[in-house]
Amino acid sequence: MAKRLASAAPVPLDEIDRALIAALAEDARRPVSELARLVGLSAPSTAERIRRLESQDVIERFTVQLDARALGFTLQAIVRVKPLPGQLHLVEDVLRRIPEFVECDKVTGDDCFICRLYLHSIEQLDEILSKVTERAETSTAIVKSTPVARRLPPLG
């Protein structure tokens, strides 16, 4: 399965590709036969399109989206992390190793990292951030609601 170069031009998608991706985004476990009906192709063609989208790296993977609340994570926070001088790599390692940080980006500007943190309670915030504050300044915002939950970007 030939891997696409990171620098290559965008993969062009047709209407059927877009419909297929939308159907898979809704429920990735739908049988190929059902997907085929939805996009108006035969099952073999549909299966081949899915394989093609995977080998072109348009589809990274099929995965499961969990509900943080059902798992007892009653709070979410967005934490901005600004490492103290000389602590950049250590801070990155610390963030990686704390599993409650479910997402973390290194960004331009004053705050070096922006991270999403899942919490069982507000008390847990201090507990977790204490592992970071020896090496970085942090600034925490508690999530009150999520007007846009993770969604697909525009496909065309």
Partner DNA sequence: AATGAAAGCTCTTAGAC
Partner DNA sequence: GTCTAAGAGCTTTCATT
Binding site for DNA (CB under 7 A): 16, 31-34, 41-45, 47-49
43 binds, among DNA, a second copy, none (CB under 5 to 8 A by kind): DNA
Residue with Cβ nearer a second copy (45 or 78) = 78
Q: Are 20 and 43 in contact (CB under 8 A)?
A: no
Rounded CA-CA distance 2/5 in Å is 9
Q: Which amino acid is at 9?
A: A
Which of 102, 98, 3 has the alpha carbon at shortest distance from 58?
3
Q: Please identify which residue in 2, 63, 123, 130 interacts with a second copy, judged by CB under 8 A.
A: 63
Rounded CA-CA distance 110/4 in Å is 34
5 binds, among DNA, a second copy, none (CB under 5 to 8 A by kind): none
129 binds, among a second copy, DNA, none (CB under 5 to 8 A by kind): none
Contacts of 68 (CB under 8 A, 6+ apart): 76, 118
Rounded CA-CA distance 71/118 in Å is 10
State the minimum distance, in angstroms, from the CB of residue 58 to DNA: 14
154 binds, among DNA, a second copy, none (CB under 5 to 8 A by kind): a second copy
Q: Are 129 and 140 in contact (CB under 8 A)?
A: yes
Q: Under the rule (CB under 8 A), what is the footprint of a second copy?
A: 4, 6, 8-11, 13, 21, 24-29, 56-73, 76, 78, 92, 95-96, 99-109, 111, 113-115, 118, 141-155
